[in-house]
Amino acid sequence: MQSFRTELENPIVEKDIIDLEKKIRAFREGTIHDEKFRSLRLARGIYGQRQPGVQMVRIKLPFGKVTFKQLLRIADVSDEFASRNLHLTTRQDIQIHYVSLDRTPELWAELEKDNVTTREACGNTVRNVTASPTAGIDPKELFDVSPYAQGVFEYLLRNPVNQDMPRKFKIAFSASEEDTAFSFAHDLGFIPKVNANGERGFKVMLGGGLGAQPILAFIVDEFLPEDQLVPYIESTLRVFDRYGERTNRNKARFKYIIQKLGIDEVLQLIKLERIANKVKSYKIDTSNVPLPALPEAKTYDNVAVSNPLGYEQWLATNIFEQKQKGFYGVYIKVLTGDIPTDRARKLVALLQTVAADEIRITQNQGLLLKYVRPEAFPTLYNGLAELDMAAPGFDSVADVTTCPGTDTCNLGISNSMTFARVLEDLIYNEYEDLIYNRDIKIKISGCMNSCGQHSMAHIGFHGSSLKAGPKVLPSMQVMLGGGVVGDGVGRAGDRVIKIPAKRATNVLRMLLDDYKTNSIEDEVFHNYYDRQGKDYFYQMLKPLADLTTLTDEDFVDWGHVEDYEKAIGVGECAGVVIDLVATLLFESDEKMEWANESFSGGAWADAIYHSYNVFINSAKALLLDKGINSSTQIGIIREFDTQYVSTGEMELDGSFNDLVLEINKNEPSEEFATAYKAKAAAFLEAVKIKREAVLQS
């Protein structure tokens, strides 16, 4: 790979990108272990695709906000480095596909020219901080949560506490009690509150998550003062880093720490970490998300709409009045979340005169425009119709959420994208009246991991497989009854039945027909589902699961013509086997350098946390020499005492536990940073001496 020169004004970003290029070179040369390199590139938003030799790059857009200029920049980058398509995700990111690994540093540098990053978009980090797309214009909100989401994003970006956690960590802010950001399904979720004194704060949800085992969050605080938001998040991340599972990925999310230790002990651990926090109080700058440039008021000539019926449906389903009187929010329904780059450019050209310079990506893979004047509606509708982006029924039964599935994802089992298009066609052609129904949500994931949020859908599908004799056929697990209740309370769907994938359209027909026939007047789907009971739906759908009536068509997945073959995409591999112990000690040296750099810059808390990781990495290296691979940082600390300190193999002034955990018993002062960093450096040197003795023996 060839080196390139960046032209960025931010030296921190420039250093980051140059470091990525060096690490890619080292990986190609076989001097970085594959697992370590995978962790590094994922933390830079670079994810291996199902197709060998190419990458998906995830672009991190805090709370889904993107300006016209940024969207054009991303389109240019997709044209230059990827497949000329933008994929909107359920976490308000944009993904581009088929990128060469060697070109990712250059790609990142191009994005940063318009203040767009890929840093910490994937991997074992705090992922994109999401928020209700309506935040700032929502008539039901107590205050705008956008600045708080932005403030948390800025505080955590490159923060040492979340660079190499046990697994990903997700944070969401909902604009109101409607909970449109799904706070209950996140590691940390927040809903704005105002107390009796008129002070701002947040209701706090902790320990939620989807995936193969969806768990709803605990409501742990009815009112957290706004200045305590960031300290609480940091304390929680410190607990996750130390106690989270690092061997079994299926048990590595924060929700499993609560399962293992209990909510009361976890809350106590979070409280104990407060002393080590960089800040004890943190006031978010509520001006950090400025009002976007608004469209100029202008007179529009009488515009004849291109499709009067479609226009009336669009007005009824895709538009709402903002809390700012005289302006409207306009939703754009985006089929499977995909926007070709040429269409994205035409969209920006259309919007520049009719909407504010701020688009929000929505959790159901659409777009929200802001500050549209009603006199611009006909012009906007006609322009969107020309781009095939004026479909009515945003967030309705006809607006199906889906992950990429087997199109590009390594973990995909079934083709969720084509299936989503088929279901939407079915709704528009057979149940057109349901484009007005926002009570029922349909969501699809190509596997059990819930990237398509299937487990919190009223009607959810996730890709799976079934065996029929010697053959395997694609299937769908049907989940029913999930969704939002409100104010931090949610529901996880019940697994009802697994059926061949090609019969899933009949599942939807049977459910919608029965709901129409047997629901009580004005009965919402949740109440209808609860009244009928899970077994009612199992018995209803059971004939579709009968494998004695299979046809040849059942062995072909959606969007394919060949027989189904369950396969997992090929990942990357390193060229040589690396000494893991030496790799860990190399990382300790690197973290020691980071500690020294942070200390020189007066960032005492960062220097302390880097020093903490020197202790952990170095101890883990020696434990591996004895064949001990502890799955948590707290386990490493305890095992090192057992294997080395108690036996006298390593002499310390007291226990390793007491030495390392000085971190959460001291304020992050210059004095403590100096002492703790020196102890970490001395420990690293002692470990190297011990390691050398092992090699010479």
SS3 track for 533-590: CHHHHHHHHHHHHCHHHCCHHHHCCCCCCCCCCCCCCCCCCCCCCCCHHHHHHHHHHH
Rounded Cα distance, 388 and 373, in Å? 22
Cα 294 to Cα 356: distance, rounded to the nearest angstrom: 4
Contact 206, 218 (CB under 8 A): yes
Are 367 and 430 in contact by the 8 Å Cβ rule? The answer is no
**Burial track 42-61 (b if 16+ CB lie within 10 A, e otherwise):** bbbbbbbbbeeebbbbbbbb
Cα–Cα distance measured from residue 560 to residue 499, given in angstroms and rounded to the nearest whole number? 18
Q: Give the 3-state secondary structure of residue 594.
A: helix
pLDDT value for 6 = 57
DSSP assignment of 170-206 equals -EEE-SSTT-TT-GGGSSEEEEEEE-TTS-EEEEEEE
- Estimate to the nearest angstrom the gap between the alpha carbon of 246 and the chain centroid: 19
Give the per-residue pLDDT at 675: 98
Would you state the pLDDT for residue 579?
56
Model pTM score: 0.93
Neighbours of 144 (CB within 10 A): 20
CB 429 within 8 A of CB 422: no
Task: Please report which helix (H) or strand (E) contains residue 483, including its range.
Answer: strand 483-486
Predicted local distance difference test score (pLDDT) of residue 309: 96
CA distances from 497 to 35, 414, 540 (A): 37, 17, 10
Cβ atoms within 10 Å, residue 519:
16
Phi, psi of 143 (to 5 degrees): -160, 165
> Looking at residue 306, what is its pLDDT?
94
Quote the tokens at residue 551: 């046809």
3-state helix, strand, coil in the chain (%, to 5): 45, 15, 40
In the three-class reduction of DSSP (H, G, I as helix; E, B as strand; rest coil), residue 628 is classed as coil
The pairing of strands 55-59 and 94-99 is antiparallel
Q: What letters, b where the CB count within 10 A reaches 16 and e where it falls short, cover 411-432?
A: bbbbbbbbbbbbbbebbeeebe
- Kindly report the backbone phi and psi dihedral angles of residue 260, in degrees, each rounded to the nearest multiple of 5, phi listed first: -80, -45
Q: Which residues, at least 6 apart from 561, have a Cβ–Cβ distance to it below 8 Å?
A: none
- DSSP for 59-100? EB-GGGEE-HHHHHHHHHHHHHHS-SEEEE-TTS-EEEEEE-
In three-state secondary structure terms, 286 is coil
Phi and psi angles of residue 122, each rounded to the nearest 5 degrees, phi first: -135, -175
Give 399-443 as a DSSP string. --EE--GGGT-TT--S-HHHHHHHHHHHHHHH-GGGGG--S--EE
**For residue 445, what is the enclosing H or E element?**
strand 442-445
Domains along the sequence of the chain with CATH = 11-112 (3.90.480.20), 130-276 (3.30.413.10), 308-386 (3.30.70), 409-555 (3.30.413.10), 580-696 (1.20.120.330)
- Taking CA atoms, 91 is separated from 248, 337, 484, in Å, by 25, 12, 16
Outline where 197-301 has alpha helix (H).
Answer: 229-243, 254-261, 263-273
| Tokens standing for residue 624 | 């591996």
Strands laid side by side in the 200-206 sheet: 130-131, 171-173, 188-194, 200-206, 218-225
Q: Which of 296, 363, 369, 295 is CA-nearest to residue 329?
A: 369
Q: Which of 654, 651, 659 is nearest to 678 (CA)?
A: 659
Characterise 365 by phi-psi region: left (phi > 0), alpha (psi -120 to 50), beta (else): left
Exposure string over 281-316, b if 16+ CB within 10 A, otherwise e: ebebeeeebeebebbeeeeeeeeebeeeeebebbbe
Q: Which residue has the tokens 């700058």?
A: 285
> CA-to-CA distance for 261 and 376, rounded, in angstroms?
56
Mean pLDDT in runs of 10 for the chain (697 residues)? 62 91 90 82 91 94 98 98 97 97 96 96 95 98 98 97 95 98 98 98 97 93 98 98 92 96 98 96 97 90 93 98 97 97 98 97 98 97 98 97 84 87 96 96 89 94 92 94 97 96 97 97 96 98 96 92 66 38 88 97 97 97 91 96 95 96 97 98 95 76
